[in-house]
Structure 1
Amino acid sequence: MAGELDGKVAAVTGAASGIGLASAEAMLAAGARVVLVDRDEAALAGLCAKHGAAIPLALDLLDPAACAGLLPRILEAAGRLDILHANAGSYVGGDLVEAESAAIDRMLTLNVNVVMKNVHDVLPHMIERGSGDIIVTSSLAAHYPTPWEPVYASSKWAINCFVQTVRRQVFKHGIRVGAISPGPVVTALLADWPPEKLAEARASGSLLEPEEVANVVMFMLTRPRGMTIRDVVMLPTNFDL
């Protein structure tokens, strides 16, 4: 895919690990300059030393002022924005009665409010330029009422509705908005899974690798401009048994 994103500027939130890192590295390999947005400043420094076209942006998106500064800081560092991958998120699983209220608030803020604000803030810039791609990391949980993660699934159902309604508002401006909805991926978000469930999933080949998800992101970004890939649901075949 070398050269397919030559001249493009992308920003990826939650870029220091997991899906965000794999997505950013795929875009870099395709020729884009990529702003890596994450709160882990040390991890960003290491990644940018490895990737010459990567631009570090240490930012805590849960801080309202920092979140509001996302686009201005991207423009200051890179001059424009062609692609936003709104990927940052967190996970709360298990029985609802066992969830901590503070954890619920934090997850809903990051998974829903932050995504909405990030998209809201970049849209005027993309509308003015008459082009842009926005991809949001959703989840298989947005399409199925998964009984062991009611809080997380609810956040992804909400954001999936947001993606599809905004998509229909802004396509007339040359902006494509879509979601990726992976099943379980080997990332830090699985840290809350019960150990026996995680071991069983690994043993049965029921987990995706971040690089596999990044391949789908690239598929969406490199389609002809007249084609919007509105959402892609992906899951390991064995997970569907």
Structure 2
Amino acid sequence: MAESLEGKIAAITGAASGIGLATTEALLEAGATVVMVDYDEKALKECTDRLGGKAIAQVTNLIDPESCGRMVPEILEKVDHIDILYCNAGTYIGGDLTETDGATIDRMLSLNVNAVMKNVHDVIPHMSERGTGDIVVTCSIAGHFPTYWEPVYSGSKWAITSFVQGMRRQMIPHGIRVAQVSPGPVISALLADWPEENLRKAKESGSLIEASEVADAVLYILTRSRNVTIRDMLVLPTNFDRV
């Protein structure tokens, strides 16, 4: 039986667009308050103005160490506590390794891996003191399969799979559930790097899913009874046949 999210307080990174925004909207509809974390202050204001008082803006640049380190303390200045941390922010690099450069690789690892580890590190003392909490991370099908056409992105998501599953075990004694959701290709800004022809073919063949479908999976994870952890949920387009 599904548990209610009424009155819960969530923090979602990358919340001003894509999966983060779709999950924010779903959690608000389920009765939660959502602290929307993003670096785009203008987009956040537009979102919170539209979504109402239970959507709270938190401007954080996750690839800036000082800003990232202030995220959890600043959130706790705006809300009493954090029931749910959804580390969703990420970026994408496709193509052969030789087609990118060191600075781009650094930025991806900073956002896809380092920021996630830092955010989880910072929220654990708060959740442990309360003896409860949920941590969810957006991974990817690329974190389960050697996707040779996007090795940097895939490598970052394999790192997250390892991290999340290790943390899941560490947090059991503290009453904190740790899970990940692993989507296939989602219609979002992350696909901006895809070659136009590949994107067109994927859309035409039904090989992409909507961000709202990933949000549905996150809600399922969060609404299970506390004695159940969905350790990972793979959400794929039915016609996606590359893995």
Alignment of 1:3-152 (within 5 A): 4-52=4-52, 53-152=54-153
What is the identity percentage for the equivalent residue pairs of Structure 1 and Structure 2?
A: 61
After superposition, give the CA deviation of every residue in 1:96-128 in whole Å (9 maximum; x if it has no partner).
Answer: 111121110000110000000000000010000
In structure 2, what is the Cα distance between the partners aligned to 1:105 and 1:141?
19
Compute the RMSD of aligned alpha carbons: 1.2
In structure 2, what is the Cα distance between the partners aligned to 1:24 and 1:120?
22
Alignment of 1:124-203 (within 5 A): 124-203=125-204
Match of residue 231 from structure 1: 232
In structure 2, what is the Cα distance between the partners aligned to 1:79 and 1:61?
22
The amino acid of 1:101's aligned partner reads G
Post-superposition offset of 1:45? 0.5
In structure 1, what is the Cα distance between the partners aligned to 2:92 and 2:241?
21
In structure 2, what is the Cα distance between the partners aligned to 1:195 and 1:101?
25
In structure 1, what is the Cα distance between the partners aligned to 2:96 and 2:196?
15
The amino acid of 2:139's aligned partner reads S
In structure 2, what is the Cα distance between the partners aligned to 1:235 and 1:6?
29
State the 4+ residue runs in structure 1 displaced beyond 6 angstroms. none
In structure 1, what is the Cα distance between the partners aligned to 2:32 and 2:180?
20
User: How many equivalent residue pairs?
Assistant: 240
SS at match of 2:172: helix
In structure 1, what is the Cα distance between the partners aligned to 2:60 and 2:117?
17
After superposition, give the CA deviation of every residue in 1:31-88 in whole Å (9 maximum; x if it has no partner).
Answer: 1110000011111111111112100011111110110011111100011100000000
SS at match of 1:31: coil
Post-superposition offset of 1:185? 0.1
TM-score by length of 1: 0.98
Post-superposition offset of 1:171? 1.3
SS at match of 1:184: coil
Post-superposition offset of 1:5? 1.1
In structure 1, what is the Cα distance between the partners aligned to 2:184 and 2:18?
14
Post-superposition offset of 1:30? 0.5
Unpaired segments of 5 or more residues in structure 1? Answer: none
In structure 2, what is the Cα distance between the partners aligned to 1:170 and 1:59?
26
The amino acid of 1:210's aligned partner reads A
In structure 2, what is the Cα distance between the partners aligned to 1:134 and 1:208?
23
The amino acid of 2:100's aligned partner reads A
In structure 2, what is the Cα distance between the partners aligned to 1:226 and 1:21?
28
SS at match of 1:148: coil
In structure 2, what is the Cα distance between the partners aligned to 1:207 and 1:121?
34
SS at match of 1:239: coil
In structure 1, what is the Cα distance between the partners aligned to 2:4 and 2:194?
37
In structure 2, what is the Cα distance between the partners aligned to 1:93 and 1:171?
35
SS at match of 2:207: coil
